[in-house]
Structure 1
């Protein structure tokens, strides 16, 4: 991946993210008020996620779930009705634009998953961390959370191999359509996204290079 591409990609991130942050400030304030009224404080959800080369950073999103309590442990029980709307419209991810401005995220790249997944990837799947994670990526425009984990990781690695500005712009355009259509917000039979529980290494299918 050339330095020229990386510089251009960073310039694109800032050229798009900064104006969107400014323009959506009233929307973010309104969403924050709804979250505070429905879920209380804190309004923001902060969680460590693996960034470039697996280095952790604090991902920011609006809260969409109630705290886990006895009888309310699973995502379906914790997910607030207002949170469902925020997730389906992707409004919960507006604070993540601040991560893009800071440089933790890019607009386009493999989605940052959970720290505990790091030792579950095959060496080929772990290549998804060779680039900066993104708000959207090939996996998000090819089924989002409605696809299998194997497919999602395959799309992530394909992005690493094909990354270029033309592909980034194509993904951004396709993402707008996916968000408008509210496609693939959750996995089949799940309130959000199923846990990544890979098969034993002897039975797993490697992601194709």
Structure 2
């Protein structure tokens, strides 16, 4: 009953209450984001949701739009300014996802929504993580987040969908709050952002360059057809 009904109702109520209570904080972050990011404070990106239906994930922008003389965006570590780093370290950049939860794109707890170009490299078994709504946090996030391997992250996601309970979700929420306050497991050592799954597999030699390019083309095609 919880997994197939009550969970969505509770997610809606929680996200609505959180948006109302946190509205002063959101307004301040919108103003600061507009100033420090030089314009639109929001970042939207297509992500696969439940049943692999693609939706637009909303976050606060953590990287500015500085470009080189050829009009190309500078590397992530350059565009990740001090304000953006603050948002990531405190996980405040995730707050706009409350809107996604309110709309029904996401849940409070569930497998984190990965990129479409990550999804196409997953096995059929790993893609079962998309049989439920993705979450603001999940089992993988309280067990290492971005400092565990992709394989372990996906295993935690599959383990979560095997047994979704109210008490389990409450426990994960409390553990997530603890992780946020400790600012734990935010980035893999030596990276400004977590590495794409396809790049990770290519580096391990588990996919060929030909297969990598084919999967990337598949991801682009899925985005075109959304």
**d(CA) in 2 for partners of 1:118, 1:195:** 10
Using the TM superposition, give the Cα deviation of residue 15 of structure 1 relative to its aligned residue in structure 2, in angstroms: 2.5
- Residue aligning to 1:171: 172
**d(CA) in 1 for partners of 2:39, 2:90:** 22
Are the equivalent residues in 1 in contact too, given 2:129–2:161 (CA < 8 A)?
yes
TM-score, with normalisation over the residues of structure 1? 0.90
2:105 maps to 1:99: no
1:177 to 1:192, Cα distance in 2 relative to 1, 3 A: same
What are the superposed Cα offsets for residues 104-150 of structure 1, whole Å, 9 maximum, x if unpaired? 00000000010112210011111110111000000100011111111
Equivalent residues in 2 for 1:19-30, closer than 5 Å? 19-30=17-28
- Residue aligning to 2:29: 31
Using the TM superposition, give the Cα deviation of residue 68 of structure 1 relative to its aligned residue in structure 2, in angstroms: 5.6
Superposed structure 1 runs of 4+ greater than 6 Å apart: none
Equivalent residues in 2 for 1:5-84, closer than 5 Å? 5-67=3-65, 69-70=67-68, 73-84=74-85
**d(CA) in 2 for partners of 1:5, 1:149:** 26
TM-score, with normalisation over the residues of structure 2? 0.84
**d(CA) in 1 for partners of 2:168, 2:61:** 31
Could you tell which deviates more after superposition, 3-12 or 131-140? 3-12
The structure carrying a bigger helix percent of its residues is 2
Using the TM superposition, give the Cα deviation of residue 4 of structure 1 relative to its aligned residue in structure 2, in angstroms: 4.6
Could you tell which deviates more after superposition, 73-82 or 182-191? 73-82
The 3-state SS of whatever aligns with 1:64 is coil
Using the TM superposition, give the Cα deviation of residue 90 of structure 1 relative to its aligned residue in structure 2, in angstroms: 1.1
Are the equivalent residues in 1 in contact too, given 2:2–2:165 (CA < 8 A)?
no
Using the TM superposition, give the Cα deviation of residue 169 of structure 1 relative to its aligned residue in structure 2, in angstroms: 1.1
Equivalent residues in 2 for 1:129-140, closer than 5 Å? 129-140=130-141
Using the TM superposition, give the Cα deviation of residue 73 of structure 1 relative to its aligned residue in structure 2, in angstroms: 3.0
Are the equivalent residues in 2 in contact too, given 1:185–1:192 (CA < 8 A)?
no
List alignment gaps of at least 5 residues for structure 2.
Answer: 209-226
What are the superposed Cα offsets for residues 50-69 of structure 1, whole Å, 9 maximum, x if unpaired? 00011100111110101262
Using the TM superposition, give the Cα deviation of residue 72 of structure 1 relative to its aligned residue in structure 2, in angstroms: 5.3
Q: Kindly report the root-mean-square deviation, in angstroms, between the aligned alpha carbons of the 2 structures.
A: 1.6
- Residue aligning to 1:144: 145
- Residue aligning to 1:183: 184
- Residue aligning to 1:200: 206
Using the TM superposition, give the Cα deviation of residue 74 of structure 1 relative to its aligned residue in structure 2, in angstroms: 2.2
List alignment gaps of at least 5 residues for structure 1.
Answer: 203-209
**d(CA) in 1 for partners of 2:15, 2:73:** 36
